[in-house]
A = this chain, B = another copy of it.
Amino acid sequence: VVTLKRELNASDIARIAGVSRSTVSRVVNNYDNVTEETREKVLKAIEKYNYVPRASAQMLAGKKSKILGLFIVDTKSENYTVTTSSYFSPFMSGVIDEANKKGYKILTMVINNESDFISAKELFYNRTISGGVFIGCNNNEKHVMDIIRDEYKVVVLEQESGTNHFNKAIIVNSDSYGGAYAATKYLIELGHKRIAHIAGDERHWTAIGKLKGYKKALEDAGFPLDEDLVVKGNYTLESGLRAVKELLQNNKDLTAIFVANDTMALGVYEALEEMGIKIPDDISVIGFDDIEVSKYLRPALTTVKVSLLKMASISINNLIQAIDEESNYSVYYNIPVDIIIRESCKKL
């Protein structure tokens, strides 16, 4: 096993190939004003000495970074967010695949607190990344607005559109309102009358949309709105567990629960099992997201599927386009969702 010292630069290659540095650069960058003959010579030298131009030198000389940031913000837990919430995992996967396809690399950061936000900003300011995607942040998050204000390229997921705070950003939302409306309507059509809702934190735009959709479906069905039937969680399993207990204390008669995400539904399953309440015989449960475990639960969880993979590819493609075109217009997507009917809801 021979140890190769890899310290050659463009000048070395130039000397070896008997051309100038600029010609090497032209070959490396595939310019067409180079004779086939010259190109061959240079290519051979590059090949032979395994020459790869340094990214930092290329960037300093004017090329854009081929790295994109993926920022997963979760200010609830201090650690291991990606594990904690299997919601993020498919999105990350989609982002990585889509970016790699296009020759970009993904740098991932988990943001738990203020100082993480500062580090994230620095990646834009010091030009490590050419753009970034934020998922999981509060509506109108200040730090993200700062970055957009400074004209960096960013896509934000699940944000209110139409406010001029985000007038230079790419917004990609799932149809929380529509999904919630459909889920609630589905329960109503199954004959349920006392339908509860375990909501998310209202700082999240999705939580607001889901609550609205739930209320509208009730209203359209002519049901009175009972505020006792709505209790707030924060998208964690534990909060779902607590919420359902609180709910059942005040509402002995509820027959169905629309839970704002599957992770909280996991907590609902746990609490109900503990209390000896059967799903769906005693209480029907419908979730949101369709995370991986949902189909393995017994009874399998009926839920509203969010196409994280599609959202990922839309995010990345728009981001790359904005970077390539050096454009800064605003775009807004609202991705439809689907009800996945499994076993956790019963007809009354």
Residue in B56, B110, B127 whose CB lies within 8 Å of A100: B110
Q: Residue A106 at the B interface, CB < 8 A?
A: yes
Query: Could you tell me the distance in whole angstroms from the C-beta of A303 to the nearest C-beta in chain B?
Result: 14
Residues of B within 8 A of A96 (CB): 82, 108-110
A53 and B126 form a contact (CB under 8 A): yes
From A110, which residue of chain B is reached at the shortest CB distance? B96
A131 at the interface (CB under 8 A from B): no
Chain A residues 80-118 with CB under 8 Å of chain B are 80-83, 86, 89-90, 92-94, 96-97, 100, 105-110, 116
Could you say which residues of chain B place their CB within 8 Å of the CB of A76?
A: none
Q: Assess whether A297 is interfacial by the CB under 8 Å rule.
A: yes
Contact A52 B82 (CB under 8 A): no
**In the assembled complex, how far is the CB of residue A98 from the closest CB belonging to chain B, in whole angstroms?**
10
Closest Cβ of chain B: how far from A265's Cβ, in Å?
Answer: 11
Interface-located stretch among A1-9, A13-21, A223-231, A280-288: A1-9
A123 to B105, CA, bound (A): 10
Minimum CB–CB distance from A293 to chain B (whole Å) comes to 5
Q: Is A219 an interface residue (CB 8 A)?
A: no
Asked if A321 is at the interface of the complex by the 8 Å CB criterion, the answer is no
- Residues of chain B within 8 A of A83, CB atoms compared: 89-90, 93-94, 292, 309
Tell me whether A56 and B127 are in contact (CB under 8 A).
Answer: yes
Shortest Cβ distance from A338 into chain B, in angstroms?
A: 18
Contact yes or no, B89 A6, CB < 8 A: no
Cross-chain contact of A97 among B110, B296, B309 (Cβ < 8 A): B110
Known: A80-B309, A126-B53. A116 touches B100 (CB 8 A): yes
Instruction: Mark out the residues of chain A between 120 and 174 whose CB falls within 8 Å of any chain B CB in the assembled complex.
Output: 122-123, 125-128, 149-151, 164-165
- A251 within 8 Å of B by Cβ? no
A67 to B68, CA, bound (A): 13
* Separation of A126 and B165 alpha carbons in the complex (Å): 38
Question: A60 at the A/B interface (Cβ < 8 Å)?
Answer: yes
A271 to B52, CA, bound (A): 50
CB-CB under 8 A for A55 and B52, given A3-B149, A296-B293: no
Q: Is the CB of A4 within 8 A of B89?
A: no
Contact at A56–B53, with CB atoms within 8 Å? Answer: no
Q: A275 an interface residue at 8 Å Cβ cutoff?
A: no
The 6 closest A-B pairs by CB, nearest first: A82-B93, A56-B59, A52-B125, A298-B298, A56-B56, A55-B126
What are 26 A-to-B residue pairs whose CB atoms are below 8 Å? A1-B165, A3-B149, A3-B151, A4-B149, A6-B125, A6-B150, A54-B59, A55-B127, A56-B57, A56-B65, A57-B60, A79-B97, A80-B94, A82-B90, A82-B96, A83-B292, A86-B292, A89-B89, A92-B108, A93-B110, A96-B109, A100-B116, A105-B109, A105-B128, A296-B296, A296-B297
